[in-house]
Each structure stands twice: as C-alpha cells, then as structure tokens.
Chains A and B, each alone.
Chain A
Amino acid sequence: MSKLQRGINSFIEQIDGPIATFFTSCVHCGLCADACLFYTETQDPKYTPIHKLLPLRRIWQQEYTFWGKLMFRLGLSKPVTDAELAAWEPLVYDSCTLCGRCSLACPVGNDIVYMVRKMREGMVASGHAPEGLKGATQRAIGLGSPMGVNLNTVMTHIRNTEKETGLSVPLDKEGADYMMVLSSAEIAEYSEVFSAVTRIFHQAGVSWTMASDGFEGTNSGIQIGSSDLAAELLWRIVRAAERLKVKYVISPECGHAYTALRWEGPNLIGRPYNFQVIHITELLDQLRSEGRLRTEGLDETRMTFHDPCQMVRRGGVVEQPRNLLHMVAPNFVEMPDSGIQNWCCGGGGGVSANERAEPLRLKVFSRKKAQLDAIGVDTIVTACSNCRSMLLDGLEHNNMSVNVVGLTELIAEHLAPAAK
C-alpha cells in the first residue's frame, strides 16, 4: 500500500458522525479566521482554520456523501494527491496549535480542532508530517523523551532534590496514592519542579511516587497525530501506574500531556484506566480547599496567568489556578480574553517542536504581546511548561522583560513551614 493510500485510508477511518456533521454544517462564513491567531496576526486567509481541512473535506465528500461519491466515480471530483497533502502540511502542523479557539467561534458549532487532530492521523500516515515533529516522536519512542532526557537525568534531579530539601523523593513506591508524571521540558529545563512538588506533597502529606518506567508525560504521538505512536508512549505510564497500583496519576504542567493522559488515553489503549488522572493544578487546589496546602508571604509583583489551551478550553481546568494564585498574589490581574477564550502562546500542538514553524510562531506571538502590553505585568504565571518555553522565546524575541514562572514553583516558594 502506498503511503498516500495509507493516508487516505486513515482519513476514511477517522471520519465519524461528528466530522461528517461538521462538514455538512459549514457555511464558509469565515468566522473561524478571527478566532485563530495565525490568521489574526498574519491576515493571511490560508490560515483560516476550516481551510486547513480542505483535503479531509474532499475525502468526506468523495467517501461519505452520495453526490460526492458519484462525482468522484465520474471523475468530476479530483482525488487527493501527495502534492496537495504536502502543500497542506504547513497549514495542518505549522499554523495550528490545536488550541481549539476556532471551535468556540464557529456559529454552526463545528469542533474544528477535533477535525484537525483527526486529520493529522492521515497526514502522518501519508508521510506528510514536519521533520521536527518526526524527530521528536522518534526520540520519544526510541530514547524515552522527545527532548532526549532519560532515567539518568531524572535520577540526577532526584538526588539533587533530596540533597536540597532533605526530603526523600519516592521512586517506584508500590501502593502510593499518587504517581507524579513530568513533562520533558520540566525534566530538561525546569527541574526546580522536582523540589517544588516534593516539598508541597511533604507538607500536605500526600502519598506519592514517581515511576522509573513512566516518568514522562509529554506525548509527541498526540502532536504528530498518530494514535498508534501516542498509545505506545502512553502505555508506559499506564503500565507503571498499574504496576505500582496507584489511585491517581498526576498530569504535569504540560497541556498536551494532560489531553493525552486525561482525555485521549483510555481511547488510545482501548479500555478505561484502573486509576484516575488529575492535573497538578487540580490536585493543588484540592489540597488548598482541604486546608492541606498552606502558604505564607505574598508576592507583591503585578502578576497575570496565561491559560494553557489544553488545560482550559480543551480541559476544563479554569478556576483552580486562580484559587491558587489568590493565595500568594495580591496584585493578580486577568489578561484580556482570559479563561476559555484565552489566546494560545503559539507553541502548542507540536508547533514548538517543529523548527520550520519557528519564524511563524514568533510572528504570531504579537497577540500575546498585545495582551501583555494591555495589562503591563512584571510576572506571567502559567501551568504548562511548553507555554512557558514559548513565552520565554516570545518575550525575548520582543525584548520584553517579564518573568515567566510555573504555578507549582510559585506556590512552593511561598510554602508555609511543614506542620509538626
């Protein structure tokens, strides 16, 4: 089977009732363009979200509609070609962060990003995925992490953390309540998270562990759009969690890790989990409401929160980070369009792993810059390490001096001394 055929078969396989309904309902009104930062920041009509789905739309017509089938058989509807898919690759990968803002804007209710996610299945199967994402996925499968970190790296951080905090970092502890999973960026770049969670969980008395065979939550398979590869990566966490018989797996500060673990996971492995998945922010807020998480001191700097798309719009975790911020940040201000309408940083959905897309993602950072300029803050807090990296890149590119902080670390910094 040719790669193209494999891709087209995959499109046919992916098209379901919702996708057929969405294509049936689209009236080509173009309103989704206004919701997409790749369009608003470039004014290039090719970045209109629904336009990115054109090849998939044709497959739907040719395979799932009566007239489309007829036209296709009569040769009046041109088949989807390799050249066309190659031309669409940058639209489907470089200019879509799977942020889902278009899905909220569509007046007929099309969940456009749902379709982009499915379209990537066929794109990757036909060989039309960006080199950067292919590399990241290969590293994730082969080395255990898209950024090349491995167990040795994790062990080093654990030892350093134990030295620094004087607390033990549980590894492979069977029967713990919670299993902490981290994102590769946290392990590689923001390792302070190790000591942050260790101290917080110690104070709150959380029974937790990390797993030597399932420490990384970043799922490049989801980003490149291959359920097969995503499942392979996810199985590591599922097996570890089930081996250690934990009740919960904690999703790290990483948007797509949360989507992969929380929402796609059971569908990828084909069965429900024997554990629950909870986002670190959800858990911290729960500890706060139970009185188990106590802070002291306030950070007087003017602070805002960048809502990671996968956490709010695609994940439903909106109030929790705010509850936590209110504990320590008296000068907290909301960004315009905060919450589920927040604008993507521009690096999600695999875009930040795709070197080719770098100029574009830095260009469209102008939206985030405008949001930040509107409120003039000193510090921007977020709960996604990928957003965090993108924010740092964007701020640097625009010569802006704003601190970027992870939410968990911010809380850990103000942690009250442990109770006796």
Chain B
Amino acid sequence: MKDHDTLEHRLTEQGISRRAFLKFCAAMASLMALPPGSATAVAAALAQAKRPSVIWLSFQECTGCTESLTRSHSPTLESLIFDMISLDYHHTLQAASGFAAEKSRDDAMKAYYGKYLLLVDGSIPTKDGGVYSTIAGRSNLDLLQEAAKGAAAIVAVGTCAAFGGIPMAKPNPTGAMAVSDLIKDKPIINISGCPPIPVVITGVLAHYLTFGELPALDELGRPKAFYGETIHDRCYRRPFYDQGKFAKTFDDEGARNGWCLYELGCKGPTTHNACATTKWNGGTGFPIEAGHGCIGCSEPNFWDAGSFYTPLPAPTAEVTTVAGIAAVAGAGAAVALSALDRAKKKHMQQTHEKLTVKDLHD
C-alpha cells in the first residue's frame, strides 16, 4: 500500500471522474465561503495533496459523530475524502483490534510525529484520575495528552470533544472536559454539533489539505465558514418570525402552516451552525423542516440551557419564588424602617418648641 499517493491518482483508481472531483471542490469552496474561482485552486491543491496521517481518538462519546460521518452521505464523494487521508487509528472503523490496534497508533505517532492530524470525538473524564473511561487500561486523559504532543493540529469533532457536551451536563459526574480545556499548546478546531454535519468535517479537512492551515475560526474555535451564522439567520421559516407568526403547539394551525417554532422553544436564534443551508441526509432537510425546533446542539452547554421546549425569552431559573421571598423581605424592611422613621418624626413632634411671635424677631 502506497502511503503518499496523490489524491488525483487514487480517485482515478477508484473510478471517480475528474468532473465529479471538480464538482466536489466547487461545493467545498462555496461551503467555506471562498471567493468564486477558487474551486480550481482547491482542485489543484487537493489533487496534488499528500495524504496526511490521521489519528482518531474516541473518548466519552456515543459514536454518533462517526455514524454521522460514515453513514449519512454514503456513498458520495464526502465519504471518499477519507481516501485523501491515511486514517491510521479509529476504534470503530479500523479492522485491527487489541494490541495490533494500539500498535498502529503508536507507529503512526512515531512515524509522523509533528505532522499528523489528531481527531477527537467525545469528552475527556478528568475526575478521580480519569478512571471513568479507559482504553487498553489507559485513561482518556493520558491518551489525549500523549497523542496531542506530536499532533500538527487537533480537530475536536462533535460537541462533546469541542465543549464537553452531554457528559459534561450537570452534575457532570465524571468531571468531563473539552479538548480545548486540556490542551493549550496546539491549534484546535472545534466542529461542534450533536452530531456535527458530515460535510463540515470533510470541508475542514479539505481546507487543511488545500491550504495547509486551519480555516478562520470564531471565538469558540469553530470554522466561521460553517458557524458564522445562526440557524435563525438562514431558516426558511424566518419570515414568519419577522411577522410574529408563531406555532403555539406542535399540532395547531400555525404548526401545520409551517409558522415559526420560536414559542415552542426553538433555539435557532442562538445556535451557530450550517444545518439550514447544508441540511442533512443528503440535503433532505433539517430538524426545523421536520417540524421540531432547533435544540442548539452545536452550542456549549446546550444540554443545561433549559428545556428544549422553553421559549428563549423565558427565564432559565425560578423567578416567581425568588420574587415572592423578595416581596416578603421588602415588606419586612418597610415595616421596620418605617417604624424607625415614624419614631423619628414623633420625636421631632415631641421636642417641637412651640413657635411664638417672639421667635419671629430674634
């Protein structure tokens, strides 16, 4: 097996036409909001790109990210992007197991030290020495720290790896943390989502291969090309929001008319992701098209940000009780302080020196 074949060569081997490849490059370029005409540049770069070694570590996760990547678009060009890379270690996808599997990782880390890409899905438990998730007797934390050392860059795939995700949700029994909480000395790119959109993963990899560097990121380390706008910004139901037309229940007239799901708890306005444009399942649709509000899965702490069905303006904490207590306290303070003030007033009345005519001309 030739390790560093060019992509073009491999694609030809697999019977992928040049035309189909260019189409893919154009799609990537547009997704990443590159200037028009850069599709050819992408194609040229990709065609000549050497396959980098990729190590994929899975920690506290549900394999949903991998499922998303491998099953959703298959067999399209996106799945073939894995032919652009040398996936040297991936629990779920690799054929090897046991010592052989671990050895392939060790080998890759040694052979491509400083050059390999590290992909991580799942969060890392840190409590009690990280005992809550181990692979081959080693803690996730240990594995991550070891693999991170020689990585050129780290891609945190999915919300768990990017922001801690569901394992980190309250009360976070395992002390789960995001990759970026633990690794500070490597470039990290977060591809959040539960799961992330497959084409976003491939898009980021394509960018890395094309330009040899990570794409522009937002303040949460996510590629701006995919996370620059909110679901709300690009939602096809947006006109209904602007007109104030809202579905009140999931089966009312408004819901049937396809009105905005804001009042049913849609988190589209506060969620940065590309679902509304790239869509899912080969462009079939995205949750809002299926009649359910966005749950905000690509944002940090989405699991703890109140009910998925609570509208955004509603408080995320009990206000009524707190206000009730404050009212009682306020009444108490008023009774106490007004008693003091009345006593002062009374004192002034008692010590009042009667005004006489004499006082007028002193």
In the complex with contacts A9-B351, A13-B348, A228-B356 CB distance below 8 A: yes
Q: B337 to A66, Cβ gap below 8 A?
A: yes
Q: Is A229 an interface residue (CB 8 A)?
A: yes
Q: How distant is the Cα of A16 from the Cα of B357 in the complex, in angstroms?
A: 26
Q: Is A145 an interface residue (CB 8 A)?
A: no
Residues of A within 8 Å of B359, CB to CB, are 125, 127
Q: A141 to B357, Cβ gap below 8 A?
A: yes
In the complex with contacts A9-B352, A10-B352, A13-B352, A137-B345 CB distance below 8 A: no
Closest chain-B Cβ to A120's Cβ sits at a distance in Å of 11
- Describe A's contact surface by its main secondary structure: helix
Residues of B within 8 Å of A6, CB to CB, are 353
Closest chain-A Cβ to B201's Cβ sits at a distance in Å of 57
Most chain B CB within 10 A, of A9, A15, A134, is at A9
Q: B344 to A125, Cβ gap below 8 A?
A: no
Interface size on A, as a range, is 20 to 34
Within 8 A of A (CB), among B318-362: 337, 341, 344-345, 348-349, 351-357, 359-362
In the complex with contacts A1-B353, A228-B354, A228-B355, A9-B348 CB distance below 8 A: yes
Q: A134 to B355, Cβ gap below 8 A?
A: no
Q: B357 to A63, Cβ gap below 8 A?
A: no
Within 8 A of B (CB), among A351-382: none
Q: How distant is the Cα of A142 from the Cα of B357 in the complex, in angstroms?
A: 8
Q: Is A95 an interface residue (CB 8 A)?
A: no
Closest chain-B Cβ to A80's Cβ sits at a distance in Å of 15
Tally the A-B contacts, defined by beta carbons under 8 Å: 45
Q: How distant is the Cα of A12 from the Cα of B345 in the complex, in angstroms?
A: 6
Most chain A CB within 10 A, of B351, B355, B357, is at B355
Q: B355 to A124, Cβ gap below 8 A?
A: yes
Q: Is A408 an interface residue (CB 8 A)?
A: no
Q: How distant is the Cα of A16 from the Cα of B345 in the complex, in angstroms?
A: 9
Q: How distant is the Cα of A125 from the Cα of B357 in the complex, in angstroms?
A: 11
Residues of A within 8 Å of B344, CB to CB, are 12, 63
Closest chain-A Cβ to B313's Cβ sits at a distance in Å of 29
Q: Is A64 an interface residue (CB 8 A)?
A: yes
Q: A125 to B345, Cβ gap below 8 A?
A: no
Q: How distant is the Cα of A129 from the Cα of B355 in the complex, in angstroms?
A: 13
In the complex with contacts A134-B361, A138-B361, A226-B345 CB distance below 8 A: no
Closest to A8 in B: B348
Closest chain-B Cβ to A140's Cβ sits at a distance in Å of 9
Closest to A15 in B: B345
Q: How distant is the Cα of A23 from the Cα of B354 in the complex, in angstroms?
A: 27
Most chain A CB within 10 A, of B349, B356, B359, B361, is at B359
Contact of A13 among B337, B349, B360, B361 (CB under 8 A): B349
Closest to B349 in A: A13
Residues of B within 8 Å of A9, CB to CB, are 348, 351-352
Within 8 A of B (CB), among A1-45: 1, 3, 6, 9-10, 12-13, 15-16
Q: How distant is the Cα of A13 from the Cα of B342 in the complex, in angstroms?
A: 9
Residues of A within 8 Å of B349, CB to CB, are 13
Within 8 A of B (CB), among A103-143: 124-125, 127, 129, 134, 137-138, 141-142
Residues of B within 8 Å of A3, CB to CB, are 362
- Further 10 A-B residue pairs, CB within 8 A, beyond A66-B337, A125-B359, A228-B355: A3-B362, A9-B348, A9-B351, A16-B345, A63-B344, A64-B341, A124-B360, A127-B359, A134-B360, A224-B360
The 9 closest A-B pairs by CB, nearest first: A13-B348, A228-B355, A134-B360, A141-B357, A226-B355, A9-B348, A12-B348, A228-B354, A138-B357
Which A positions have Cβ atoms within 8 angstroms of B?
A: 1, 3, 6, 9-10, 12-13, 15-16, 63-64, 66, 124-125, 127, 129, 134, 137-138, 141-142, 224, 226, 228-229
Listed by A's residue number, 5 A-B pairs whose Cβ atoms lie within 8 Å are A9-B351, A12-B348, A15-B345, A138-B357, A138-B361
